[in-house]
Amino acid sequence: MVRFVQRFILSKKNHITLISAILIVFGFISGLGFQNETVAIWFLAIASMLGIAPIAIQAYQALKIRVVSIDVLVTVAVIGAFLLQNFEESAIVTFLFLFGAFLEQRTLNKTRSAIKELTEMAPESALKQMENGVFEEVLVDEVDVGDILLVKTGAKVPVDGTVLSGEGHINEASITGESVPVGKKKDSGVYAGTILENGTLQIVADRVGEDTTFGRIIELVEEAQDSKSEAERFIDRFSKYYTPAVLGLAIITWLFSRDVELAITLLVLGCPGALVIGVPVSNVAGIGNGARHGVLLKGSEVIGDFSRVDTIVFDKTGTLTIGNPEVADKEFYTDNVGGVLAYLASVEKESDHPLANAIVEHIGDTTLCRVERTDVVKGAGIVAYIEGHRVAVGNVTLMERENVHLAEKARADIARFEKNGNSLVLISVDGELKALMGIRDQIRPGVKEDLQKLKKLGVKNLVVLSGDNQGTVDLVAGELGLTEAHGHMLPGDKSKYIEKLKTKGHIVAFVGDGVNDSPSLALAQIGIAMGSGTDVAIETSDVVLMNSDFSRLPHALGLTKATAANMHQNIVIAVGVVLILLASVFLSEWMNMSIAMLVHEASILAVILNGMRLLRYQL
Amino acid sequence: MKKATIQLETLACPSCVQKIEKATKSLAGVDKDSVKVLFNSSKVKFDFDTEKISIGDVEKAITALGYVVLKSQVKDK
């Protein structure tokens, strides 16, 4: 029964706030307007008692588990004012505290709205195949791995799964941020939270609920928003002792001065609201803005480090370039071009190296020969036997190993191809050079402008590291205006290089595509993955640029800088207000309990509103 | 050990986090180190021993503090 009453009172907090406001107005009308003090006192006393009820219940619940919360301070202060028969103050303080909490709740919900939008995109129901073969609508919680589901046009895909039958186009904007529909057919993978724009699909559930990519993104954002930076942990510890300390200070003040008013005023203005809420609000709003703009920031620690970054290291392929190399130049040293191409295509078909794929694609349809034996020479290429001929496909190193003579013309071609930023593939048959191919990757559109923006935001060093030859890397660096470029780098060399930068005192961010670059991603203070919703990218990095969208990078950096600045502003507001209030309670005449509460609530709203500005941040 | 997520209606202030965290951690059968109260999404996450405590007991302890449980989910760890 007691519990029921408690819960009832708490659930009607907003009504209570409104009623006590009306009572206070009536109190002032009868007191000032009709000069009827007795009636006025009754109105104000009832308003106080009504208003303090929910606050006192919360205070009691906190004390029960030995937490001295803000509610305790306010309850003690109001009871004190009541005993002093200062009903005007007790009524106004309770009302302001309740009204402040109401406004705080409203505005806080706004800063949380970004994550709410995200969770609302999660599917709620699914059409599941029952034992009798009929599809029935069930809650998404009731779907298990292995279930067969039906997705109709316009519906959300309920789980991560594989297409069993049917065809259609899916809008994957919720995962990748890319709103161009992607075609799906048998054996294609589909993601929970994406929308089937046309067609009908039957899918098998591979991952359900929180395990889906979408579920994990939500979980990451949720946890990131709640993650605490060193500063916040300090404030947390601080406020744990701060509130009891304020209570103690008030008691001591009362013991020495015997001034109950003063002691009570101290209680009210000592509420640490703005300090406790200021930093997390900036954090939540910043991460929320990121989530909306395709940037996953994993926590406030990341925000702090990223905002101070002075060196950004890029992987080349797949990051600065599209990662889809194409044959750009070629030279033949034989009349039998068709024959060489047939050999080349046959050998390269055996490999899944990106350069090999580019060659196979370039050659297109041709008669394939039977490849008798292939040996992969690590870091150099492939040696194979076709129709009794020894065919070598690879770089200059391989040609040297094969004792292939490079004539004057061939050497000149090689130099020219390299200068143009090509990766080289040479083909020899029985020790004679037959062809040279130059393969080039396209620079991502817009990257140059994005790098300029990064420089404007204060990043001093922009470095590219690549396994490619130095010529190619230099060309890319020159074209993009990077400060340093290093080629011939194996994954191990890259992480060593980052280590070196760190020992020099640089704050380093590494941008990679998240699969082969994981050591560097982990080593840099900030690992930034160009992720297309893939597991590895989401999990191993500190920042994920959804859909591998490079243009999100300047936004991410600008956002973390704005967020860090916002946190500092909020700390200044919060500490400043408490200091001014404290000074004026001892030094001024005008300070009283109601004014203290008003300023206190105003400062809470000020830090929340300041934090909310981040939701609209745009670079 | 099972993994639980309790979705609460709304957490109004940071001191709610402190209250719920303390109350949940004090329950026998709940793994203290696993208790996480997410303020912004109003969720309580923790691991617990099904032989010592039920999810209902944890919900009761939280509702006793005046919070409303919207739904809870238990998963194998």
Written as one string, the DSSP assignment of A463-528 is EEE-SS-HHHHHHHHHHHT-SEEE-S--HHHHHHHHHHHHHTT--EEEEE-SSTTHHHHHHSSEEE
B39 CA: distance to closest CA in chain A (Å): 6
Catalytic residues of A, by residue number, are: 315
Among chain A residues, CA nearest to B62:
A61
Nearest to A6 among B10, B66, B75 (CB): B66
Surface-to-core class of residue A14, CB atoms within 10 Å of its CB (0-12 exposed, 13-18 middle, 19+ buried):
middle
> Is B3 within 8 Å of B77 (Cβ atoms)?
yes
Cα–Cα distance between A436 and A228 in angstroms, integer?
Answer: 56
**H or E element: which one contains A401?**
helix A396-401
At CB < 8 A and 24+ separation, what contacts does A145-149 make? A145/A205, A145/A206, A145/A207, A145/A208, A146/A204, A146/A205, A147/A204, A147/A205, A148/A202, A148/A203, A148/A204, A148/A205, A149/A202, A149/A203, A149/A204, A149/A205
Q: What is the reported pLDDT for A179? A: 62
Q: How far is CA A395 from CA A275, A286, A307, A322, A471, in A?
A: 62, 48, 42, 22, 14
Q: How many CA atoms lie within 13 A of A418 on its CB side?
A: 14
Q: What is the reported pLDDT for A535? A: 66
Express as a percent the part of chain A with pLDDT over 70: 98
User: Tens digit of pLDDT for each residue in A259-272?
Assistant: 888 888 888 887 77
Nearest to A366, CA basis, from A395, A341, A393: A341
Nearest to A67 among B22, B41, B64 (CB): B22
Please report residues of B whose CB lies closer than 8 A to that of A285: none
Judge whether residue A564 has pLDDT over 80. Answer: yes
Cα–Cα distance between A297 and A314 in angstroms, integer?
Answer: 18
Residue with tokens 């009524």, as numbered in its chain: A91
User: Tens digit of pLDDT for each residue in A213-261?
Assistant: 888 888 888 888 777 777 777 877 777 788 888 889 889 988 998 888 8
Cα–Cα distance between B11 and A277 in angstroms, integer?
Answer: 13
Q: How far is CA A288 from CA A38, A88, A242, A295, B61, in A?
A: 52, 42, 30, 9, 31
Q: What is the mean pLDDT of residues A1-25?
A: 86
CB contact under 8 A, A65 and B73: no
Residues 6+ apart with CB under 8 A from A610: A278, A281, A282, A566, A569, A570, A573
Q: Phi/psi zone of residue A501: left (φ > 0), alpha (ψ -120 to 50 degrees), beta? A: alpha
Residues 6+ apart with CB under 8 A from B16: B39, B67
**How would you label A530-566 residue by residue, b for 16+ Cβ within 10 Å and e otherwise?**
bbbbbebbbebbbbbbbbbbbbbbbbbbbbbbbbbeb
CB contact under 8 A, A276 and B12: no
Q: What is the reported pLDDT for A436? A: 92
Q: How many CA atoms lie within 13 A of A617 on its CB side?
A: 34
Nearest to B41 among A6, A115, A273 (CB): A115
Cα–Cα distance between A349 and A63 in angstroms, integer?
Answer: 73
Judge whether residue A203 has pLDDT over 90. Answer: yes
CB contact under 8 A, B66 and A10: yes
Q: What is the reported pLDDT for B10? A: 78
Q: What is the reported pLDDT for A119? A: 76
Nearest to B19 among A65, A119, A210 (CB): A65
CB contact under 8 A, A115 and B40: yes
Count of A-B CB contacts under 8 Å? 72
Please report residues of A whose CB lies closer than 8 A to that of B41: 112, 115, 119, 222, 225-226
CB contact under 8 A, A225 and B43: no
Under DSSP, the state recorded for A140 is G
Mean pLDDT lowest among A135-139, A354-358, A496-500: A354-358
Please report residues of A whose CB lies closer than 8 A to that of B5: 210
Q: What is the mean pLDDT of residues A477-494?
A: 87
Q: Please give the ipTM for the structure prediction.
A: 0.81
CB contact under 8 A, A58 and B40: no
Cα–Cα distance between A566 and A286 in angstroms, integer?
Answer: 9
A68 CA: distance to closest CA in chain B (Å): 9
Beta bridge partners of A327: A439
Judge whether residue A533 has pLDDT over 60. Answer: no
Judge whether residue B47 has pLDDT over 90. Answer: yes
Q: How many CA atoms lie within 13 A of A164 on its CB side?
A: 14
Residues 6+ apart with CB under 8 A from B14: A236, A239, A276, A277, A280, B39
Cα–Cα distance between A249 and A74 in angstroms, integer?
Answer: 15
A501 CA: distance to closest CA in chain B (Å): 36
* Paired sense of beta strands A182-184 and A160-171, if any: antiparallel
Cα–Cα distance between A392 and A400 in angstroms, integer?
Answer: 11
Nearest to B66 among A58, A66, A119 (CB): A58
Q: Is B3 on the interface with A (CB under 8 A)?
A: no
- DSSP, collapsed to helix, strand or coil, labels residue A304 as helix
Residues 6+ apart with CB under 8 A from A186: A163, A164, A165, A166, A167
Calculate the CA A503 to chain-centre distance.
27
CB contact under 8 A, A112 and B15: no
Judge whether residue A514 has pLDDT over 70. Answer: no
> Is A329 within 8 Å of A417 (Cβ atoms)?
yes
Judge whether residue B1 has pLDDT over 70. Answer: yes
Q: What is the reported pLDDT for A449? A: 94
Nearest to A17, CA basis, from A84, A112, A103, A85: A103
Q: What is the reported pLDDT for B6? A: 92
Q: Which has the higher per-residue pLDDT, A422 or A504? A: A504
Nearest to B66 among A61, A104, A239 (CB): A61
Among chain B residues, CA nearest to A7:
B66
Judge whether residue B72 has pLDDT over 80. Answer: yes
Q: Phi/psi zone of residue A388: left (φ > 0), alpha (ψ -120 to 50 degrees), beta? A: left
Cα–Cα distance between A502 and A529 in angstroms, integer?
Answer: 19
CB contact under 8 A, B38 and A284: no
> Is B2 within 8 Å of B77 (Cβ atoms)?
yes
Express as a percent the part of chain A with pLDDT over 90: 28
Cα–Cα distance between A581 and A573 in angstroms, integer?
Answer: 12
CB contact under 8 A, A104 and B13: yes
Q: Is B61 on the interface with A (CB under 8 A)?
A: no
Rg of chain B over Cα atoms, rounded to whole angstroms, equals 11
- DSSP, collapsed to helix, strand or coil, labels residue A436 as strand
Surface-to-core class of residue B24, CB atoms within 10 Å of its CB (0-12 exposed, 13-18 middle, 19+ buried):
buried
Cα–Cα distance between A504 and A500 in angstroms, integer?
Answer: 6
B51 CA: distance to closest CA in chain A (Å): 24
Judge whether residue B68 has pLDDT over 70. Answer: yes
Give the A-side interface with B, CB within 8 Å: 3, 6-7, 10-11, 57-58, 61-62, 65-67, 69-71, 101, 104-105, 109, 112, 115, 119, 141, 209-210, 222-223, 225-226, 236, 239-240, 273, 276-277, 280, 284
- DSSP, collapsed to helix, strand or coil, labels residue A152 as coil
Our CA dihedral for B48, B50, B52, B58, rounded to 10 degrees, sits at 60
Q: What is the reported pLDDT for A163? A: 93
Extract the tokens encoding A321. 């370039």
Please report residues of A whose CB lies closer than 8 A to that of B14: 236, 239, 276-277, 280
- DSSP, collapsed to helix, strand or coil, labels residue A428 as strand
Q: What is the reported pLDDT for A435? A: 92
Cα–Cα distance between A313 and A290 in angstroms, integer?
Answer: 21
Q: Is B38 on the interface with A (CB under 8 A)?
A: yes
Please report residues of B whose CB lies closer than 8 A to that of A104: 12-13
Q: Is B25 on the interface with A (CB under 8 A)?
A: no
Please work out, in degrees rounded to the nearest 5, the angle formed at the alpha carbon of residue A506 by the alpha carbons of A501 and A507.
110
pTM assigned to the model = 0.78
Cα–Cα distance between B69 and B62 in angstroms, integer?
Answer: 8
Please work out, in degrees rounded to the nearest 5, the angle formed at the alpha carbon of residue A277 by the alpha carbons of A274 and A282.
110
Q: What is the reported pLDDT for A364? A: 83
Cα–Cα distance between A433 and A101 in angstroms, integer?
Answer: 80
Q: Is B13 on the interface with A (CB under 8 A)?
A: yes
Q: What is the mean pLDDT of residues A50-62?
A: 90
Give the other-Cβ count within 10 Å of A76's Cβ: 19
* Greatest CA separation for chain A: 117
Sheet holding A295-297, edge to edge: A295-297, A543-546, A526-531, A508-512, A311-315, A461-465, A484-486
User: Tens digit of pLDDT for each residue in B15-27?
Assistant: 788 889 888 999 9
Please report residues of B whose CB lies closer than 8 A to that of A605: none
Q: What is the mean pLDDT of residues A398-421?
A: 88
